[in-house]
Amino acid sequence: MQSKDAAQAALLLVEARHGGHRLADLPEELKPATLAQAYAIQDAVIARLGPIGGWKVGPKRGDSDPTCSPISASLIRPTPARFAARDVPAAEAEVEVAVRFGRDLPPRPASYGPDEVRAAIAAVLPAIELLSSRFVDRAAAAPLSVIADSQSNGAVVIGDDRADWQSLDLARIAMRLRLDGAEAGRTDGGPDADSMLAALTWLANHVADRTGGLKKGDVVITGARVGPLPLNGAATEADVPGLGIVRVAFD
């Protein structure tokens, strides 16, 4: 894939994001054939959306690396947040644990280790990721096309920072997702701090090579613990005891 192809694929995705016609998939000649090509399209998308304010990354599974995508700073909003429904069509919600970095992790010859990444985390916070694909049916699109489409990220809403996060048992953190006041999803646990840190360490090294490194203030969401659940315009509330409440509403 040439850079012009990545730019053209990104243009189609950004136009769909901004209210244009959603796609069945990327055109055959613009579909990424490798993960590197999907990331090149992501980079071309973020160049159009604005500066990076954070990332999404999932937990490592076995020997496979996670996948990730950058998130524009304009799409990371504090609770309570309100969106026009047309800006996040067919929105679904995932409740996640997010982290905020308190220092830069710039490129360097040596890889970052988990202890360094842990020390760079300034806070943990609750988050709702709004999924909103640029494809009519993301399950029917090619998997690499979905990765190219910022892994279906529509926006992220975050709660308050908790700086003393290391006292939390993240493996036992409870979460409740309510839609119009009724409980729609819940969990009493999830990945522990070490699992989350493994993914964040991979991300720190990946981003150092790819975009110049994680930056102070970057917010990283670390994978769904509840959801995804379709919202259908409902007032959405994630209650995470020990971290706080995150609210989203739609016009």
> Contact 123/244 with Cβ under 8 angstroms?
no
Please give the structure tokens belonging to residue 191: 């990945």
Tell me the pairing of strands 236-240 and 244-250: antiparallel
What gap in Å lies between CA 97 and CA 38, rounded to an integer?
25
* 28-to-12, 142, 158, 203 alpha-carbon distances in Å: 13, 10, 36, 29
The reported pLDDT for the residue numbered 3 is 83
> Contact 62/195 with Cβ under 8 angstroms?
no
The reported pLDDT for the residue numbered 2 is 74
The reported pLDDT for the residue numbered 1 is 67
**What residue ranges define each of the domains in the chain, with the CATH number in brackets?**
51-250 (3.90.850.10)
Dihedrals phi, psi of 2, to nearest 5 degrees = -80, 160
Please give the structure tokens belonging to residue 247: 């609210």
pTM of structure: 0.96
For residue 161, how far is the Cα from the chain centroid?
17
Dihedrals phi, psi of 118, to nearest 5 degrees = -55, -45
pLDDT (tens place) for every residue of the chain, 251 residues total: 678 899 999 999 999 999 878 999 999 999 999 999 999 999 999 999 999 999 999 887 778 899 999 999 999 999 999 999 999 999 999 999 999 999 999 999 999 999 999 999 999 999 999 999 999 999 999 999 999 999 999 999 999 999 999 989 999 999 999 999 999 999 999 999 999 999 999 999 999 999 999 999 999 999 999 999 999 999 999 999 999 999 999 99
